A and B are shown apart, each in its own frame.
Chain A
Amino acid sequence: MCLGVPGQIIAVTQPEKMMAMAEVSGVRREINVAPVATGPLEELIGKWTLIHVGFAMALIDEDEAAATLEALRGLGEAQEALDAMAAGDAALEGRS
Chain B
Amino acid sequence: MKYAEEFRDPKAAKALLAQIAEVVDDIGASRDAPIHIMEICGGHTHAIFRYGLDKLIHDGVDFIHGPGCPVCVLPMSRVDECIEIAEKEGVIFTSFGDAMRVPGTKKSLLQAKADGADIRMVYSPLDALELARRNPDREVVFFGLGFETTTPSTALSIQVAAREGLTNFSVFCNHITVPEPIKVLLDDPYMVLDGFVGPGHVSMVIGTHPYDFIAQNYGKPIVVAGFEPLDLLQSVLMVLQQIRDGRAEVENQYARVVSEHGNPVSIAAMADVYEPRPSFEWRGLGEIDASGLQIRKAYEAFDAEVKFGIGHAVGARVVAEPEGCACGAVMTGRMKPVQCPQFGRGCTPEMPLGALMVSSEGACAAYYQYGGARAAAE
Binding site for B on A (CB under 8 A): 1-4, 17, 29-32, 34-37, 50, 52-55, 57-58, 60-61, 64, 67-68, 70-72, 74-77, 80-81, 83-85, 87-88, 91-92, 96
* Interchain CA distance A37-B229 in the complex, whole Å: 31
Residue pair B97, A87 in contact (C-beta under 8 Å): yes
- 8 Å CB interface, B93-123 against A: 94, 96-98, 120-123
* Interchain CA distance A2-B120 in the complex, whole Å: 19
Residue pair A91, B201 in contact (C-beta under 8 Å): no
Residue pair B96, A57 in contact (C-beta under 8 Å): no
Binding site for A on B (CB under 8 A): 6, 8, 41-43, 46-47, 50-51, 68-71, 94, 96-98, 120-127, 130-131, 134, 145-147, 149-150, 152-153, 156, 160, 201, 204-205, 226-229, 256-257, 263, 265-266, 269, 360-361
Residues on B with C-beta less than 8 A from A83 are: 97
Residues on A with C-beta less than 8 A from B120 are: 91, 96
Q: List 9 A-B contacts (CB under 8 A).
A: A1-B70, A2-B42, A35-B265, A37-B265, A54-B127, A54-B153, A55-B156, A57-B201, A71-B229
Residues on B with C-beta less than 8 A from A37 are: 265
- A92 → chain B, closest Cβ, in Å? 6
Beyond A35-B266, A54-B124, whether A84 also contacts B96 by CB under 8 A is yes
- The closest CB in chain A to the CB of B51 belongs to A74
* Interchain CA distance A50-B134 in the complex, whole Å: 28
Of B68, B69, B71, B263, most buried by chain A (CB within 10 Å of CB) is B263
Residue pair A57, B97 in contact (C-beta under 8 Å): no
- A88 → chain B, closest Cβ, in Å? 3
Number of A-B contacts (CB under 8 A): 144
Residues on A with C-beta less than 8 A from B127 are: 54, 88, 91-92
Residue pair A1, B150 in contact (C-beta under 8 Å): yes
* Interchain CA distance A32-B269 in the complex, whole Å: 13
- B234 → chain A, closest Cβ, in Å? 13
Residue pair B125, A75 in contact (C-beta under 8 Å): no
* Interchain CA distance A85-B60 in the complex, whole Å: 42
Residue pair A2, B97 in contact (C-beta under 8 Å): no
* Interchain CA distance A2-B124 in the complex, whole Å: 12
- The closest CB in chain A to the CB of B360 belongs to A76
* Interchain CA distance A56-B361 in the complex, whole Å: 22
Residue pair B96, A71 in contact (C-beta under 8 Å): no
Residue pair A88, B263 in contact (C-beta under 8 Å): no
- The closest CB in chain B to the CB of A94 belongs to B120
Residues on A with C-beta less than 8 A from B71 are: 1
Residue pair A53, B153 in contact (C-beta under 8 Å): yes
Residue pair A72, B227 in contact (C-beta under 8 Å): yes
A-B contacts besides A54-B124, A91-B94, 15 pairs, CB < 8 Å: A1-B96, A2-B42, A2-B43, A2-B68, A37-B265, A50-B257, A54-B123, A57-B152, A64-B257, A67-B8, A74-B50, A88-B121, A91-B127, A91-B131, A92-B131
Residue pair B70, A2 in contact (C-beta under 8 Å): yes
* Interchain CA distance A52-B148 in the complex, whole Å: 11
Residue pair B126, A54 in contact (C-beta under 8 Å): yes
* Interchain CA distance A72-B360 in the complex, whole Å: 13
Residue pair A58, B123 in contact (C-beta under 8 Å): no
Residue pair B123, A85 in contact (C-beta under 8 Å): yes
- B235 → chain A, closest Cβ, in Å? 14
- The closest CB in chain A to the CB of B70 belongs to A2
* Interchain CA distance A76-B43 in the complex, whole Å: 11
Beyond A35-B263, A60-B256, A84-B121, whether A3 also contacts B201 by CB under 8 A is yes
Instruction: Pick the residue among A57, A72, A88, A96 that contacts B124 (CB under 8 A).
Output: A88
- A41 → chain B, closest Cβ, in Å? 13
* Interchain CA distance A96-B124 in the complex, whole Å: 15
